[in-house]
Amino acid sequence: MRKTLGILALVLLAVLLCLIAAVMKLPHQQPETRLTSAPTTGTQPSEPEPVPTRTLPTESPREPEDTDFVRVRDYLPGVAVELKYAAEDNFTGRRIYEFTEAYLRYGTVKKLMAVQSDLAELGLSLKIWDAFRTPEAQFRLWDVCPDPTYVSDPNKGFSKHSRGGTLDVTLVDSRGSELEMPTGFDDFSARADRDYSDCSDEAAANAMLLQNVMENHGFSAYWGEWWHFNDTVLYEVEEHFLPPQ
């Protein structure tokens, strides 16, 4: 009897060992994890910050060539402009051209910058009465006044105004009032020349101031008209450029 029980115990032990060995050979499973959403607090998740874009450098505007025509007040905003031939307030009593802004060669304007800088130290400024004049405008002047003493004959050669380096100017104070000069514009009497002996001392001093500052910065003064100055650089006659109206 005891022998039989011993045999049964051994059999049960063998079965138990087999079961344990079988369980040990089974693959281990990871415990399932459940994702739980975080409790909402009423705030939305922040959006990702935008990636900064690279800004390409912009090119600086090209500086004009000395021969280019430019509007004077684009470079000298303090200059006064009253083009006499754009209205009827001139010796012809007629409008000679339609545009109202002064245009000159850029090389001439650069010289005027230096002139204007000197005058600003004295509380003064230039006032432009005439600048670039088209050849067609010169023919109109000649039709009205065919006298070479006062108007260049376009049939024999172009006016220097048609080259873009000549201008007619006077001086104004900080309020824009014109200084006293020997005569008004387009006065064709002897008092308009640069003798200055037949005008007041104040007018002579103002005319000399204008002449000196212009000559100091590359302009030559026409003897017969105190207001008339030529760039010492002689440009070609311009037959195609027409200032916008």
SS3 64: coil
**Exposure class string for 138-161: b at 16+ Cβ within 10 A, else e:** bebbbeeeeeeeebbebeeebbbb
Question: Residue 105 corresponds to which tokens in the numbers above?
Answer: 């060669």
CA 151 from centroid of its chain's CA atoms: 35
What whole-number distance in Å separates Cα of residue 226 and Cα of residue 187? Answer: 10
Catalytic residue at 225? yes
Single out the catalytic residue among 180, 225, 236, 238: 225
Residues in the chain: 245
Among 213, 212, 217, which residue's Cα sits nearest to residue 231? 217
Q: Phi and psi at residue 219, in whole multiples of 5°? A: -120, 150
147-151 contacts, C-beta under 8 A, 24 or more apart:
149/188, 150/91, 150/186, 150/188
Cα 24 from Cα 31, distance rounded (Å): 17
> Is the sign of the CA dihedral 35, 38, 43, 48 positive or negative?
negative
Lookup: tokens for 27: 């693959």
Cα–Cα distance, 222 to 230 (Å, whole number): 7
Catalytic residue numbers read 225
